[in-house]
Amino acid sequence: MSSLSRVGAIAAKEFKQLSRDRMTFGMIVMIPLMQLILFGYAISTVVRNIPIAIVDNSGSAVARAITEQVRVTQVVEIVGHYATAAEAEAAIVAGTIRAALIFPENLTQRAAGGEPVAQWLVDGSDTMVSAAVLGLRTMPLHLEAGAPDGAYQATAPSFEVAVFFNPERRSEVNIVPGLSVIILTMTLVLFTAVGLVREREHGNLELLITTPIHPLELMVGKLVPYIFVGLIQIIIILGLGWLVFNVPLQGELHHLVAVILPFIAASLTLGLLLSTIAETQMQAMQMTFILLMLSILLSGFMFPFDAMPKTAQYIAEILPATHFMRLIRGVYLRGATAGQLLPDILWLLGFTGIMLTIATKRFHKSLD
Amino acid sequence: MTELAIRVRALSKHFGEVVAVDGVDLDIPAGQIYGFLGPNGSGKTTIIRMLCGLLTPSGGDVRVLGLQIPTQTDRLRSKIGYMTQKFSLYDDLTVQENMQFMGQIYGLPRKVARARIEELLERYALAPLRNRFASAMSGGQRQRLALAVATLHSPTLLFLDEPTSAVDPENRRDFWEKLFDLSEAGTTILVSTHYMDEAERCHHLAILETGHLRNQGTPQELLAQLDNRVVEIAGDNLRQVKERALRLPEVQSAAQQGVRLRVLLKRNTLDPTQYLREQLADQHLVLTHTRPSLEDVFVASTTGSKQQ
Q: Is the peptide bond before B163 cis (omega within 30 degrees of 0)?
A: no
A367 or B70, which is more confident: B70
Q: What's the predicted TM-score (pTM) here?
A: 0.79
Q: Is-contact B249 B269, C-beta < 8 A?
A: no
pLDDT at res. B39: 87
Is there a contact between A210 and B106 if contact means CB atoms under 8 Å apart? no
pLDDT at res. A112: 79
Reply yes or no on whether the pLDDT at A338 is more than 60: yes
pLDDT at res. A145: 47
**pLDDT tens digit sequence for B153-183:** 999 999 999 998 778 888 888 999 999 999 9
Mutate to test the interface with B, among A208, A210, A218 (most CBs of B within 10 A): A210
Reported as half-sphere exposure (CB side, CA atoms, 13 A), residue A28 has a value of 9
pLDDT at res. B100: 92
Is there a contact between B54 and A366 if contact means CB atoms under 8 Å apart? yes
pLDDT at res. B271: 81
Q: How confident is the model at residue A326 (pLDDT cuts 50, 70, 90)?
A: very high
Is there a contact between B53 and A213 if contact means CB atoms under 8 Å apart? no
C-alpha closest to that of A331 among A226, A224, A258, A278: A258
A38 or B261, which is more confident: B261
Q: Across the interface, which of B53, B90, B105 has its CB nearest the CB of A213?
A: B105
Q: Is-contact A117 A66, C-beta < 8 A?
A: yes
Which of A155-159, A321-325, A342-346 is the least confident region?
A155-159
Highest mean pLDDT among A3-17, A152-166, B135-149: B135-149
Rounded CA gap, B66 and B49, in Å? 17
Q: How confident is the model at residue A323 (pLDDT cuts 50, 70, 90)?
A: very high
Q: Across the interface, which of A207, A211, A213 has its CB nearest the CB of B84?
A: A207
Which of A31-40, A127-136, A343-352 is the least confident region?
A31-40
Is there a contact between B53 and A366 if contact means CB atoms under 8 Å apart? yes
Q: Is A313 exposed, middle or buried (0-12, 13-18, 19+ CB in 10 A)?
A: middle
Reply yes or no on whether the pLDDT at A307 is more than 50: yes
Q: Is-contact A118 A107, C-beta < 8 A?
A: yes
Is there a contact between A202 and B88 if contact means CB atoms under 8 Å apart? yes
Mean pLDDT of B134-160: 93
Query: Which of chain A's residues have a Cβ under 8 Å away from the Cβ of B107?
Result: 212
Q: In the predicted model, what is the mean pLDDT of chain B? A: 89
**pLDDT tens digit sequence for B117-132:** 999 999 999 999 999 9
Under an 8 Å CB criterion, which residues of B touch A?
Answer: 49, 52-56, 70, 73-74, 77-78, 80, 82, 84, 86-91, 102, 105-107
pLDDT at res. B48: 95
pLDDT at res. A69: 86
Q: Across the interface, which of A207, A366, A368 has its CB nearest the CB of B82?
A: A207
Reply yes or no on whether the pLDDT at A139 is more than 60: yes
pLDDT at res. A261: 95
- In whole angstroms, how large is the CA radius of gyration of chain B? 22
Which of A20-24, A294-298, B216-220 is the least confident region?
A20-24
Q: Across the interface, which of B74, B80, B90 has its CB nearest the CB of A204?
A: B90
pLDDT at res. B306: 43
B306 or B67, which is more confident: B67
**pLDDT tens digit sequence for B175-201:** 999 999 999 999 999 999 988 888 999
Go through B20-35 and write b for each residue having 16 or more CB atoms within 10 A of its CB, e for each that does not.
bbbebebebebbbbbb
Cα of A367 to nearest chain B Cα, Å: 6
**Taking CB atoms and an 8 Å cut-off, how many pairs form between chains A and B?**
52
**pLDDT tens digit sequence for B7-55:** 999 999 999 899 999 999 999 999 999 999 998 889 999 999 999 999 9
Residue type at A191? Answer: F
Cα of A37 to nearest chain B Cα, Å: 39
Mean pLDDT of A151-161: 65
Is there a contact between A208 and B105 if contact means CB atoms under 8 Å apart? yes
Mutate to test the interface with B, among A207, A213, A218, A363 (most CBs of B within 10 A): A207
Cα of A204 to nearest chain B Cα, Å: 4
For residue B289, list its beta bridge partners. B231
Q: Across the interface, which of B54, B77, B91 has its CB nearest the CB of A206?
A: B54
**pLDDT tens digit sequence for B77-107:** 999 999 998 999 998 889 999 999 999 888 8
Q: Is-contact B193 B36, C-beta < 8 A?
A: yes
pLDDT at res. A2: 66
First to last CA, chain B: 40
